[in-house]
Amino acid sequence: MTEFLTDFGILIALACAGASLVYGITTSRWLLAKSPGNDQMQEISGAVQEGAQAYLNRQYTIISGVAVVLAIALAIALDVRTAVGFIIGGVFSGAAGYIGMNVSVRANARVAESARGGVAHALEVAFKGGAITGMLVAGLALLGVAGYYGLLLLLDVSEKDAIDALIGLGFGGSLISVFARLGGGIFTKAADVGADLVGKIEAGIPEDDPRNPAVIADNVGDNVGDCAGMAADLFETYAVTAVAVMLLGVLTFDQIGEVAVYPLVIGGVSLLASIVGTFAVRSATGNVERALYQGLIVSGVLAAILFLPVTLGLMDDLGFKEGASGFLTGGGGAAPSGVDFWLCTLVGIGITAGLFVITDYYTSTRFRPVRTTAEASQTGHATNIISGLAQGFQSTAAPAILLALGILAANELAGIYGIGVAVMAQLSLTGLIVALDAFGPITDNAGGIAEMAELPEDVRNVTDPLDAVGNTTKAVTKGYAIGSAVLAALVLFAAFQDELREEAGKEFLFSINDPKVLIGLLIGGMMVYLFSALAIEAVGRAAGQVVDEVRLQFKEKPGIMDGTEKPDYARCVGLVTTAAQKEMIVPALIPILIPVIVGLLSTEALGGLLIGVIVVGFFAAVSMTSGGGAWDNAKKLIEDGEYGGKGSEAHAASITGDTVGDPYKDTAGPAINPMIKVANIVALLMVPFLA
């Protein structure tokens, strides 16, 4: 079996990737066959589609200019193979985001129409819309890595050189991801904040009211931020982790063929498990959250079972390369067994489950953190902000302990490579995770269309509960993305160390008592906060423009409020598009330029920088996303009737908290994930110039 898996591992991975693409295509045809509703619903949905497509077209045009320059630089500084890999990674990552957006904007009206038939029908359409994006993201990531690796081997490139070229592929995916997360995040939150501040607080009209000139921009933002942004984010996390584990394996073990294809086969069989899991998402009782999570549980259990024969077939009887580092044995003695590696996969799946439970606790309306923030709103805006900040800071403790325990367990079983295996297993559920994330904006937009098209109240009684669950799943998937990003970055850092050892023939130890390392640590931590500050400021500036525009339209067209005049939605969409494209450039260059400058000055300082980015980035990202989620759901809890309900002083305070939390949870926090990995990938690419 070992020989079969080694010889045909790439083909197995490609076949599984193909199966996920077939699933996405066939499910898309099923979705598009559903009724998009009446003419008014189609008109609203069409406006959202048009705005989202125009935004992404402009974003990818700008990114393409940056990518061409970087591809030429990589070809000159390194080699053509790495540059080609960079282009493949960028194109596939961009395609994942573009597909995710296009599916989402077509699913929203169909979910609203399906809601006429009850929760079960609407749930099926909304989840399948998200599942299309999820399966295509994971399938394209595996197709890109396995396909390019297989092509290079056919061209007689050695395994090690082929994997080095794949680092370029990871860099391409990471670059697209950081731009998509930043640009989409700035767009969605500028529109959301501007719409809420004028519409809800000043004009006193409901959310998604068609009289609000920013309402279409808000709906566009949900798609370009959450769908396209998350799709690109998890695409690059998946691809980068697979490449890092492959690289770490060939630097550590003698059996290069087996360890090179192992992450690919793991990714392939888990895709099959995810496809099966999508069919387990159904509910006869109307319990939406339970229905979604039972699909994830089915996929996780099935993946764990499939990992066993694959791991035993490929990873038993391995031997260390001479001088290999990163294991408790110090590179001597017997390598871990196949069972040890399989247990590492279970650690990865367990971390995923733990992150889901923890993030759900801190962001769901059912539990104390959100209820505490909602209660604090009764005494004013300031106490709401204080409570939200406190919940965000507190939410970092449990994930940090969980990751520490996971790292300890995987390291005890199989050293740093075992941690890499755990991360790869964690990312095996990417298809379902992206499906849960895309479910959020799809249901949010469905509720907005129902409101704007003035559909019967029983439709909103279906879309509102779906939207509430979607808010929780979006928060939970962000927690998952951050946890996987940190572990992936740890593996990348280990690969960076081993690549340095391989190239220079000596160990590089990054000790805290080395002043250069300490300088790097401080610069790495500074990068996270500078990056976050620029992203949050960008939202504030763009939101201010939206506020001015909405106020201006209400003044110029007094008939908007009584329905005799229509607002100009396109002006708001165009305004936010221009602002987001302009504002995303500078912060996106931080994780590229600063590591290059520091690395050219000192290798030790670069190592310290990477450690600082990982540690500080984790705590900043978790506190922002969980705190922002708590603020958001505290507002929704009040809007559902608690603590005075809509129009109360507590409601006004909760809107303030939500607008502060918006750039936290949907712009800066999520964008830290790709930022961490871009810095580590840049360091890996610099190794030939450092050793």
**Average pLDDT score over residue span 55-61:** 81
> Residue 159: what residue type?
E
pLDDT of residue 507: 67
Residue 326 binned pLDDT confidence (cut-offs 50, 70, 90): very low
- The contacts of residue 580 (CB under 8 Å, 6+ apart) are 55, 59, 183, 184, 186, 187, 190, 538, 542
Using one digit for the tens of pLDDT, what is the confidence trace for 592-611? Answer: 999 999 998 988 899 999 99
Question: Quick check: 87 and 71 in contact, CB under 8 A?
Answer: yes
Best-predicted range by mean pLDDT among 113-127, 178-192, 298-312? 298-312
Distance CA 71, CA 81 (A): 10
In order of 112, 113, 210, 562, the CA distances from 454 in angstroms are 11, 12, 9, 15
Query: With 70 as the cut, is the pLDDT of residue 424 above it?
Result: yes
List the single range of 487-491, 531-535, 651-655 with lowest mean pLDDT: 487-491
Using one digit for the tens of pLDDT, what is the confidence trace for 248-260? Answer: 888 888 777 888 8
Residue 439 binned pLDDT confidence (cut-offs 50, 70, 90): confident
Q: What does the mean pLDDT of the chain come to?
A: 85
**Average pLDDT score over residue span 61-75:** 88
**Average pLDDT score over residue span 661-683:** 87
List the single range of 267-276, 416-425, 454-463, 539-548 with lowest mean pLDDT: 454-463
pLDDT of residue 534: 92
Q: What is the 3-state secondary structure (H, E, C) of 191-254?
A: HHHHHHHHHHHHCCCCCCCCCCCCHHHHHHHHHHHHHHHHHHHHHHHHHHHHHHHHHHHHHHEC
Residue 331 binned pLDDT confidence (cut-offs 50, 70, 90): very low
pLDDT of residue 2: 55
Residue 181 binned pLDDT confidence (cut-offs 50, 70, 90): confident
List the single range of 243-247, 281-285, 539-543 with lowest mean pLDDT: 281-285
Question: Quick check: 99 and 135 in contact, CB under 8 A?
Answer: no
Structure tokens at 286: 């109307």
Best-predicted range by mean pLDDT among 53-67, 92-106, 242-256, 367-381? 367-381
pLDDT of residue 505: 64
Smallest CA-to-CA distance from 419 within 348, 482, 313 is with 348
Quote the DSSP letter at residue 320.
B
pLDDT of residue 3: 61
Using one digit for the tens of pLDDT, what is the confidence trace for 450-461? Answer: 888 888 888 888
Beta carbons within 10 angstroms of residue 41's beta carbon:
22
3-state helix, strand, coil in the chain (%, to 5): 85, 0, 15
Distance CA 457, CA 464 (A): 10
Residues facing 253 on adjacent strands: 320
More confident residue, 327 or 393: 393
Distance CA 485, CA 399 (A): 13
Please state the separation of Cα 124 from the chain's center in Å: 23
| pTM score, whole prediction | 0.86
Angle between helices 39-77 and 80-114 (to 10 degrees): 170
Query: With 50 as the cut, is the pLDDT of residue 474 above it?
Result: yes
List the single range of 180-189, 321-330, 423-432 with lowest mean pLDDT: 321-330
Q: CA angle, corner 190, sides to 187 and 192, nearest 5?
A: 100
Residue 400 binned pLDDT confidence (cut-offs 50, 70, 90): very high
**Average pLDDT score over residue span 154-174:** 87
Best-predicted range by mean pLDDT among 412-421, 443-452, 464-473, 608-617? 608-617
Query: With 50 as the cut, is the pLDDT of residue 327 above it?
Result: no
**H helices, E strands: number in the chain:** 21, 0
DSSP assignment of 379-429, as one string?
Answer: G-HHHHHHHHHHHHHHTTHHHHHHHHHHHHHHHHHHHHHHHHHHHHHHGGG
pLDDT of residue 332: 47
Best-predicted range by mean pLDDT among 258-272, 451-465, 573-587? 258-272
Question: Quick check: 111 and 125 in contact, CB under 8 A?
Answer: yes
Best-predicted range by mean pLDDT among 555-569, 584-598, 638-652? 584-598
pLDDT of residue 330: 40
Query: With 70 as the cut, is the pLDDT of residue 82 above it?
Result: yes
Residue 324 binned pLDDT confidence (cut-offs 50, 70, 90): low
More confident residue, 657 or 324: 657
